[in-house]
Structures are given as structure tokens and as C-alpha cells.
Structure 1
Amino acid sequence: MRDSPNIAVVVMDTARDSDVISSTAPTIAELGEAGTRYTEAFSAAPWTLPSHGSLFTGSYPSKHGAYSGHEHLDDALPTLPELLGDAGYETFGVTNNTWITDEFGFGRGFDTLRKAWQLLPGDGNMLWEMVQVQDEENSEGLLERALSGNPIRNAVNAAYARFAYARRDSGAGRTVDLIDDWLGSRSGDRPFFLFANCIEPHLEYEPPREYAEEFLPDDVSYADATALEQDPWEYLVGNVNHSSEEFDVLRALYRAEIASLDDRIAELRDALVAAGEWEDTILVVVGDHGENIGDHGMMDHQYCLYDTLLHVPLVIQGPGFEDGGEVDDLTSLVDLAPTLLDAAGVDAPDAREEFQGRSVHPDADAESREELYAEYMNPQPTMAALERQVGELPEYVYRFDRSLRAVRTEEYKFIRGSDGTRELYHVAEDSAERSSLENERPELAAELEERLDEWIDSFEHAETSEEVDISGARKQQLEELGYLQ
């Protein structure tokens, strides 16, 4: 075994904990049994950009500054791949989510960060625009942009995206292929940091037929299931209604997506074994946030801080984490950066001074945390973006025009909105967060609110006054994923 272990982090984009482990994802269950499963793991934010920012920097959104309104991870804080790269690690990543790209500040520290939807690597997301644009109104300037930069590469990538990418799944198969090729091309004996964002559980749920048929009710065909409306914003504003049976079908498709991704994770493990790297590798499998599938009257993963969006799977297997069993201490994704630095034997004292997380490495002497936090800094999409998408909004939708912060202990969660709303849940007994106790337990609500305010005042917040421009192909791709701009 080399002195420092390899580290591989696989993000299951939009995987919520209750739908991941056990029969839905046997590979992840095996990894948890052989390693350590953190049963009370929570995201610091309910959507991709700020959550990955927290995972990469070990800090909460208001400190790292990447969230709606400032959609960029600035360089004020070092990232995990930067810190490991500085310590001698080779760093390689594959992403299937356009947020997690160079354009949004996530390339820092990677020797290579591949976009899985590109056959030929290059800057920008031009291919997505070329493939997705279907009408004359949105095609304005498309030819000029296609001919800019490297038009041959743009054309090859567009053809690849249209006819090959995501034919097997939503890109996880392509991701494993890229990683397998990279493992086979490596030379030397440097340890590596490997990162992969896999987007299968994300809307729209379109699992391969063979997986869907394992989970769908007997009387529902694959064609009928995938024909169900999955636009979360049309549902939010009441233009689409789903029965409980239809939501059961959507949940079945969602579980099938996870089962499909679980098999790709098994293939990644096989690739590491074939490359002779498995015994020296710490493998982390984690969800960046969860999903509402009719829960709380919502679809997608915006506008709230309920556990359907925050409670995520987290398993770590490999040197130092063997046979750790189940850890039921409160764990946040901000804890991953210090944990993995400990696993790598990297000191990085200046970075650790900035971390808001604490190591959950089995050899760490940190005390169990009493509380953790989550933030939703701005609504995404904004009310104006929703109006452009669906037309006039019902009055009740404007209640989502707010920011949210939450503090959680093992027993209770307190959520406060910028509009003055306050919610208190006894999550130990009311895990679905159906009954707010704010009026019944005002003293406890006040105590938790005070703890929340003390935490907010305890650190320097990011300066995010400068607006980030999102236009062209990136905007189109984000809108395809439901992130209206």
C-alpha cells in the first residue's frame, strides 16, 4: 500500500437517503457494510451549486458564496482538489451537471475536469445549445456561436450529444468509460483524487426500460410511466395535477434511476480493481441533495429546507473506514473536506482554519456535533423566471420568494424564512416534518433561533454583490435541467 491512499468521490446528484440504500442500491449497501455508513448525513443546501460548493470548501453557502444570485464558486476559499493537488495528488474529474464545470468555478485544482457530454474536450457548452434548440426564436445567433472557437469540435460534440451520449443512461456509463480510460493511461505512482458527478436521479426520470420494469406497478407500462408530466414548475403553479398513484409511478422511475446508477458504481469499483487501485482507494458515495416527489406539495429540489431535500446518503469505504458500521452522529457535507484531508494525511492548516466542518474520520478526536445548519440563500428559479416559464403565477406561489436558514439538532429542526416565517419540527418523531410546533413550543423555537443567529454572526460572509453572467449555451442547458434563469 502506498503512503497516501487514493480518494474517489462519487456524487449521486439528487439522491435522497430514504430511496438509496437497501434493495434499491445493493452496491452502495455493500460498500456501507464493508466500510462506514453515515445514517444522519445532511446537505448544507438543497440544490447542486451551493451543495457542491460546501462539499469542495468545507464551508456553508453564505461563506463560500456560490448560490442563486451569484452562481460562481469564487477563489476566496481553497477547494478539496486544490489542497490534494498541492499535496502531490493527481486530480481527475468527470461531470454530468453543467453547474460543476470550469465556467462556474469548479475546475480549480483539477489536472483535468471532463464534461461527459463532450466527445472532444473543450471550453463551453456549445453542443448542448446546438442539440436542444428546436425553434427559430431561440436559434438567433446559433450559427455564429457554432462557428466560433473550434467549429469542427463543436460539430463533433453536437453529433455525439444527439446520437450517443446518454443512450445507455444519463451519462454514468460514459463517466465510467472515461474513468476507466484515465486509469489505464496513468503513469507513475502518485496517489489520485477522482471526482464524478452522476446525474441519473435528477429530473427528468428516464431510466433504462429494464430497470424501470423492476420497480413499476404491474399495471403500468414503461411507455405510460415515462409519458407522465414531469415539469416541476407546471405542477407547482397548479397547471398539472398528479394523483397519489401517479406519484407512486414517478417514485418508481426515480428508484429505477438510482438502481441504474448503482450498477455503474459497481462498474467503477470493477475498474479500480482491474487497475490494481482498489485496495489503496477510499471510495465516497454521497448525495449532494435530495428531491421532492410530491412531498410537501412540491416537485424538484427548491424553495424549502425539509429533510426530503437535505437528508442524503453517505458511505465511505476503504483504508481507515473498514468495518465502521453505521454512524448515527449528525454529519454535514461540510465535514467531507476535513475528513478526506485527514484520510490523505494532509495538514493544510490555513485551509482548516477556514473550514466550518469537522472531520468524521474514525481516527479523528473531534466531538460529535450538537447541531448542523442548512441555507437556501435565494429562490431558484426567481418569481420572474417562473412567470416567464409558466405565465401568471397564483398568489400562493409568491410565498416562495424568500431565503431560508435552518438549524438542526438530533431531535429538532428550526427553519426561518426572510419573510418572517418560523417552523419547528420534532424530527426525531415527525421525520416527515408535517406538524410545526412553533406555536406550541415557543421557548424552544426562540432558543434554536438564538443559536442560529449566533452561528450566522460567528463567521465572515462572502461578498457576492457582483452579478454572474449566464447566457447562451450554459443558460440553455441549465433550463433543460429545470434551473430557470
Structure 2
Amino acid sequence: MKPNLVFILADALRPDFISAYNYRNLSTPNMDRIAEEGILFDKAYATTNTTDPSLTSILSGKFPKSHGIRNHGEKVTEQEVRFFNRSDTMLLSEILKRLGYDTAAVDWLKRWHKKGFDCYGGTKGKEFDSAADLGKKAIELLPGKIENFLKSFYSGLDFTGREDARSVTNSGINLVDKECEEPFFLFLHYWDTHTPYSPPEGYVERNIDLDDFENRKLENVFASINNPDWRENLQGFTEGLNNTEEVIRRYAGAVKFMDDEIARLLDFLEGEGFLDDTMIILTSDHGESLTEHGIYFDHHGLYEQTIRVPLLMKFPTFFEPSEVDAFVQHIDIVPTILDILDIDFDNFDGKSLLPILKNGSSLHESIFVEEGYTQEKKAIRTERYKYILSESEEKGTCRYCGRIHGDLEELYDLKRDPGEEKNVVEKNRDLAEELRREIMQKFEQLSENKKKKEKDFLKGKIEGLKRGGKI
């Protein structure tokens, strides 16, 4: 019997808010349980910093440049979706469905994300149909009003601001209990650590150590935002609060609430006899900048706070619990799952992590990330350095904040400056040029591969039309 798979995606969850990562005094015993019984990856990274392209990378094993989805939400173009749909990209859900898995997801993003799922949205045969219009409606609204729209949208789907994690867990348990036969793939998307950070009463963390965060009056934060729409958005979900520390305590409370709901999920799996035969993977699509670099309560920028993610993997009987210090990336998750299932499927940018788990070898000397939603930047991170590049002032200007974060070219010595506060690009021009060449070569290679796929697709279409006598 193939093992079941439960995939937990905790939106915008930072690893330093999980106690297993040993950063602060916030207790998350249930996520810790997954780490203690499985593998904790300490240097796991996203491929980008927004949900649509990141989730697509997670479930396809490919960089955004390869699968075609590089924007997010209302900015995803028809051309991007068209390339994705006609490419050879298969999502994990599609692959597992072909392997005989029952596939179910609790999420509302819909569009291409629902491919391969027997059940999507919580009930078999039903979807969150309203989600199809979410992007169009969001475009019509000022960004500052989008949060209120999302709250009402959640409410209509039994996802309220206070019960998101509870509703996701309830739906997941219901799907496994009533709709799925083994082996099953259950995908759960928790949103509590995404703004507006609205944990239930009693969960707001009062005692967490936040000394590493700047505490600013919110009125001063609002004054620093040049975009009036984004300013209105921040004012909307922080209404009634006075400073940034209060907002971060709500984020921490959302983590605690989500952790408690993960406990219910684990207890259900154990009580029903599934746990010992189930792979469990927990990660986030991106991190969250809470005050760092002048980026407040969002995930734009390619700094560590937004691109480093938690990654916990629990495999039934395969490996002893351990911690991995090597670089890994979201694109490595699907190849790893299929390697465990002994499935030969090699159409990935990522690599299986089994060699790391078996003998401690390293797969990546560096990792590559990009963003294209609020600003256009690329980055490479090596063991010691981070190099971030934007190719023009227009591309480098944040459309949320109305300014350039950092500079158009940034180099950080992470050994001496883990907070990425001192740009040393001018003092290390040779190194910067070397990293620039490496990053440009990588993205040019991905672009060439994409062009070849487009050319092959068109060639196949033409040949098909010729065979059909239509041309």
C-alpha cells in the first residue's frame, strides 16, 4: 500500500515563529511534533514571494520561469495561464491521481491550482465557485478595501476571520472521513498567518519576546507609505492598534491558533489509524516581513524574512528524525515525494532530497529567487552572501510603498550581517559582478527552456493540423 500524504501549507508563516527552530519563546508543540518525528530543514527557501507562483512551484517542482506563472492574483496574465496549461507541467495532485490516489484540497484559490483534485474546496463535487470571480472583483476595488472584501468572501465559505484554521481542519477531517479512500492526498491551506492576523480571543500573544523587532507607532508607519491605497489597506486591518508590536503579537497568536488546529488534525489521523502510514509535509508559500527593511506586514522583497520558509517532513518508517542544514528549495519537494514512491518522473527543476537524508550530501551550492508582483527583482543566495538585482528604477520601485527598498543592486555578507542591513556591493564589486553573471545566466537558461517549450508546442499544433487535413 502506498503511503498517504497530508500537505500543510501555512500561508506567510515564518520559521522563527515555530519553536522547533529555536528562535524565540513562542511554543508550537504540534508543529514541533512533526519536526521531532521527522526532518527539519533549516535552510529551506521559496522560489518567489507571492502565493500564486510559489504554490505552483511547490506542487510542480519548477521555477516560476519554467511553469509560466510569475505574477499573482489580478496581475496573472492570460498569457501566463495559457503557457502553464499547454506546457508539460504536471502538478503533484495530477501525478498522484494517476497513481490511484484520492486527491482532496481545502483551499479557495481555484483556477489552475485545482487541477488533479477529486475534491476541491471542502466537499466532493463542489468548489468555492465564487473564487473564480475573486481576481476580477479585486481589480475593481481599491487595495485598501480588499481586506473587507476578503472577510466577506471568507464568511460566505465558512471561513471567518476568527475561525479560519478551525474551518480548514474541520473540512480536512471531513474529507478524509467521508470522501477519501486510501491512499489519499490531502492538501490543506491555512491562511491565519496572512493579514489581517485575526486569531480568536485569548490567542493574542502577550509574553512573546519581540526584542529583535523595531517597535514603531503605527501612525509613523502609515506616514512612511507613499501609496495612499496601500496606506489605507494597512490602516484597515490594524484599526484599534497603536504600534507594530501589537500587530506582531496578533501574528504570533495566529500561529498558536493554527498550531492548535494542527493538533486536532494529527489526533484525528492517529485515532483513525492513518498516522503511521502517512507522509506529512508542512511548509509556507513565503515568509512575512513584520517590520524589517521598512516592509510592514507583507511579503514583498527578497530578504530572508520573506523567502526563507519552514519545511518539515515526516515519513512513515523511512528515516530517523534529524535536522538538515543544507540548502533546499520548494522545487525539491515533489521530486522527493515521487522518489519515495519509487516513481520515475524527472521533469523538474528541483532534485530529490533523499541523497541528503541518506548520506548528508549537499544538492545546491546556491539558491535562486525572483519576484514580479510589487517590484521586479532577482536574487541569488550562497552560503555567505546574498545578491539582489533590479534592472531599472521602474522595476525596482515598490508599487505598494512607492519607493525602492534597499537599492537596485544589493550585496549582503550574511555571516557578518544576517539582518541584511549593510549593503556592501561597492566594496565588493568583483564578487557582485560574479554573482550578477551567475544569476543572469540562470534566468536566461530558464527563459531559453521556456521558449523551446513554446516552440515545441506550436510545432506539435501545426503537425496535428496537417495530419487532420486542416492546413
Structure 2 CA distance for partners of 1:228 and 1:40, relative to 1, 3 Å = same
> Are residue 411 (structure 1) and residue 384 (structure 2) matched?
yes
Per the alignment, residue 6 of structure 1 pairs with 4
Query: Secondary structure at 2:427's aligned position in 1?
Result: coil
Match of 1:161 among 155, 163, 175: 155
Q: Residue 364 of structure 2 corresponds to which residue in structure 1?
A: 369
Q: How does 1:131-146 map to 2 (within 5 A)?
A: none
Taking a change above 3 Å as real, the CA distance of residues 230 and 266 of structure 1, as seen in their structure-2 partners, is: farther
- Pair 1:27–1:439, CA change in 2 (3 A): same
Corresponding residue for 2:194? 202
Contact 2:285-2:309 within 8 A present in 1 as well: yes
RMSD of Structure 2 on Structure 1 (CA)? 3.7
Contact kept? 2:53, 2:69, Cα under 8 Å: yes
Mark the CA change 1:25 to 1:245 in structure 2 (over 3 Å): closer, same or farther. Answer: farther
Equivalence for 1:327: 324
Displacement of 1:110: 0.9
Over 3 Å counting, the alpha-carbon distance change for 1:47 and 1:182 in structure 2 is same
Structure-2 separation of matches of 1:283 and 1:274: 16
Residues 202-227 of structure 1: CA distance to partner in whole angstroms, max 9, x if unpaired? Answer: 0101111111154479xxxxxxxxx9
What's 1:145 paired with?
A: none
**Structure 2 residue 428 is matched with structure 1 residue 430:** no
Please give the alpha-carbon distance, in whole angstroms, between the structure 2 residues aligned to 1:375 and 1:25.
Answer: 30
What is the letter of the counterpart of residue 253 of structure 2?
Answer: A
| Residue pairs, 1:212-231, within 5 angstroms | 212-215=204-207
Contact 2:128 2:157 in 1 (8 A): no
Alignment partner of 2:425: what SS?
A: coil
Counterparts of 1:55 and 1:159, CA distance in 2: 25
Bigger relative CO (Cα 8 Å, ≥ 6 apart): 1
* Conservation of the 8 A alpha-carbon contact between 2:158 and 2:167: no
Q: How far is 1:253 from its partner?
A: 0.8
The residue type equivalent to 1:125 in the other structure is A
* TM-score, structure 2 normalization: 0.75
How far 1:21 sits from its partner (Å)?
2.9
1:70 is matched with: 76
Change over 3 Å in CA distance of 1:228–1:426 after alignment to 2: closer
Mapped to 2, the partners of 1:360 and 1:326 lie a distance apart of: 13
TM-score (normalizing by structure 1): 0.73
Cα contact 1:57–1:80 (8 A) shared by 2: yes
Q: Secondary structure at the match of 1:424?
A: strand
Contact 2:119 2:126 in 1 (8 A): no
Deviations 1:104-146 (A, max 9, x none): x111111111169x996452338989x99xx9xxxxxxxxxxx
User: Within the alignment, does 1:268 sit opposite 2:265 as a pair?
Assistant: yes
Query: Which residues in structure 2 correspond to 1:209-358 (within 5 Å)?
Result: 209-215=201-207, 235=225, 237=227, 246-319=243-316, 322-348=319-345, 352=346, 354-358=347-351
Distance 1:187-1:294 versus aligned 2 partners, 3 A rule: closer
Partner residue, 1:83: 95
Query: How far 1:379 moved relative to its partner?
Result: 3.2
Deviations along 1:382-436, one digit per CA (max 9) or x if unpaired, are xxxxxxxxxxxxxxxxxxxx41111111111111102172111112332211011
- How far did residue 51 of structure 1 move? 0.7
The residue that corresponds to 2:443 in the other structure is 456
Residue of structure 2 equivalent to 1:125: 131
Any stretches of 5+ residues in structure 2 without a counterpart? 21-25, 142-151, 210-216, 394-407, 455-471
1:113 equivalent in structure 2: 120
Shift of 1:343: 2.1
Q: Structure 1 residue 33 and structure 2 residue 32: aligned?
A: no
Q: 2-side partners of 1:183 and 1:231: how far apart?
A: 45
Following the alignment from structure 1 to structure 2, what is the Cα–Cα distance between the partners of residues 416 and 33? 38
Q: Distance in 1 between matches of 2:291 and 2:153?
A: 36
User: Residue 410 of structure 2 contacts residue 424 of structure 2 at CA under 8 Å; is this kept in 1?
Assistant: yes
Identity of aligned residues (%): 25
CA shift, 1:302, in A, is 4.5
Q: Structure 1 regions of 5+ residues with no counterpart?
A: 136-157, 218-226, 381-401, 466-485
The count of corresponding residues between Structure 1 and Structure 2 is: 399
Decide whether the 8 Å contact of 1:60 with 1:375 is kept in 2.
no
| Counterpart contact for 1:15–1:287, Cα < 8 Å | yes
Question: SS in structure 1 opposite 2:130?
Answer: coil
Whole-Å Cα distance in 2 between the matches of residues 163 and 415 of structure 1?
A: 40
Measured in 2, the distance between the counterparts of 1:163 and 1:64 equals 30
Match of 1:93 among 92, 105, 108: 105
Deviation (angstroms), 1:365: 9.0
From 143, 155, 166, the equivalent of 1:173 is: 166
- Offset of residue 172 of structure 1: 1.6
